[in-house]
Amino acid sequence: MFKKILIANRGEIACRVIATAKKMGIATVAVYSEADKEARHVQLADEAVLLGPAPSRESYLVADKIIAAAKQTGAQAIHPGYGFLSENEAFAKRVEDEGMAFIGPRHFSIAAMGDKIASKKLANEAKVNTIPGWNDAIESAARAVEIAKGIGYPVMIKASAGGGGKGLRVAFNDKEALEGFTACQNEARNSFGDDRIFIEKFVEQPRHIEIQVLGDSHGNVIYLNERECSIQRRHQKVIEEAPSPFISDATRKAMGEQAVALAKAVKYQSAGTVEFVVGKDQDFYFLEMNTRLQVEHPVTECITGLDLVELMIRVAAGEKLPLTQADVKREGWAIECRINAEDPFRNFLPSTGRLVRFAPPAQSMYQGDTNALYGVRVDTGVQDGGEIPMFYDSMIAKLIVHGTDRLDAIAKMREALNGFIIRGISSNIPFQAALLAHPKFVAGDFNTGFIAEHYGQGFRAEDVPHADPDFLVALAAFVRRKSRERAAGLSGQLPGYGVKVGHDYSVIVLGSTGEHRYKAVHVDEVVGQIGSAVVTVDAQRYAISSPSRLNDISIAGTCNGQPFTAQIERGTPRNPLALVVQHNGTRIETMVVSPRMAELHALMPFKAPADMSKYVLSPMPGLLVEVAVQPGQKVQAGERVAVIEAMKMENVLFAAADGVVSKVLANKGESLVVDQPIVEFG
């Protein structure tokens, strides 16, 4: 067994590999860029080596620097994680040539299966069902349009080296095919250094189901059931689960055996994933093989009780698989939510900056521990006070739950999301909460178009209807009442001027455009029970009890005997008197005041925000890579104005209306903050 391994990655996956290595008694070496010098994976590893500047092409993608770091520290093996160089055959071969073990498949397997064009040809030869398409690299955008027309729209334009939603577009007409080809080529060149593009038929209403395979160097290959990955936004997975609520045992077996046959054809060793697109009649087609560990591997670990990272390390050290196909278990139901640094209410634009608060829910399952199951696990590469840089992927954590069945797992996940505290940046937690509550998701009735169909116009606060909105009002009144009780108990108050607790309050639910709601609330204390009260809202009675302290953001307790977890914040930058309540993805801003104060508040005029319609504002923090207009230029609505790059994605800004450019307020190469003006129209 190896004594020391180097992890050629960052973030949560680097931390994940370190956890298993520690369990196995293996020393670890982290590598990091200048942007990651304070990162969690650097602190967890036994040694750390600086690779270079923040951009990944100058650090995490430089094979020479990683090999040099491994030699310098005496590492015997390299684990590539996912992304970066994990599916780069030249890197895998170089590691082998340098006398180290690559903790992943052999370079020839990566060459055969990691390249989408080559893998499709190989699958065809092996008589595996594949989707119609053009399997050779396409030389130009014009040729891409010709091919797309020949296949028939809609088509999927994909980068051969793509992954994680990068270098992928769906085109429904010639214009989209032309633009999509160019955008895919640019993204692929920047992210993977390989701009080869191919096209295939886009199967409408498909499910994305993948099979986890595991092979060793002795010719053994098994499959570890499937993962349902159909809940995707812009081809990036949002929620993954195992098993799938859709396929039958017969389909599972057929897909698994086909995946194993394909893996054996390329002498596959290590963990890998064979992805299938599955039609409504459970007919399935091979999509591609990911020759690496997947982001969503924890859900497979939960239902099988296996540590996939440990098995990868053991296989790389030459050991045989410790189990056969008959030994593979499928117990309970696991769900993973990807927690991303993005603002769901601003079209999911990246959100970077400092994590003022980062407090995940309490864990009962841990990385590498296959004994503790049926609970909550958090895989992350960040910590309280850490920085979310704009140079890398937007995923900051994975929240995993394991339940006895699917409904139990959904309930556990909703409760865990309620207790996940992230402040300082925006996160997609409200969106995840909305998805988990959607009746079609709960029923298992969805496909890869689910998010586009139900949230096609973007995501708004009203898309998260709360089952009992008055509960949030009652919770605000409860917290305010408890703080008044504490204030009344402070010593040294002047006689006649002490804080009066009172029983009647008014909860003002503040609206962003002045449409406030006023709720009359009555609060009775429960004699002899500290931290308890009965709150009445519109004749509805809420008996709330909570041991949480007044300054806790996350508040847990029971309401009418049912457990709950919610988040309460005191004060906002605009309103220090506000109480912000968050539960099941719904967030309300309230003021809990006396009935008289509520009457006066209703008379206050609403101050509308300043009109910024004549500016093009940066919708997120990022790098301004292009300004496409100049002062005096006439611009039509929909015309390209600027391009911003953040978290490895290009975002094009378009003019909202016709106008003439009066000023360009930001320069190419400038780092922008959110809402910074770029262009002003006259």
| Catalytic positions, written as ranges | 288
CA distances from 354 to 176, 387, 574 (A): 37, 4, 20
Four-CA torsion 65, 71, 74, 75, nearest 10 degrees: 60
* E strand segments, 216-348: 221-233, 236-242, 270-278, 284-290, 333-340, 342-343
Half-sphere exposure of 366 (CA within 13 A, CB side): 7
The amino acid present at 437, given as its one-letter code, is A
Using an 8 Å Cβ cutoff, are 528 and 544 in contact? no
What SS3 state is found at 303? helix
Phi and psi at 328, nearest 5°, equal: -70, 125
Edge-first strand order for the sheet with 615-617 is 615-617, 677-681, 659-664, 634-635
Residue 58 CB-density burial (10 A; 0-12 exposed, 13-18 middle, 19+ buried): middle
Beta strand 395-403 with 236-242 is unpaired
- The DSSP bridge partners found for residue 274 are 211, 289
Using an 8 Å Cβ cutoff, are 228 and 271 in contact? no
How many whole angstroms separate alpha carbon 133 and alpha carbon 199? 6
Using an 8 Å Cβ cutoff, are 444 and 436 in contact? no
How many whole angstroms separate alpha carbon 108 and alpha carbon 508? 65
How many whole angstroms separate alpha carbon 304 and alpha carbon 328? 6
Using an 8 Å Cβ cutoff, are 166 and 191 in contact? yes
Spatial CA neighbour of 39 closest among 75, 65, 17, 14: 14
Residue 298 CB-density burial (10 A; 0-12 exposed, 13-18 middle, 19+ buried): buried
Using an 8 Å Cβ cutoff, are 400 and 376 in contact? yes
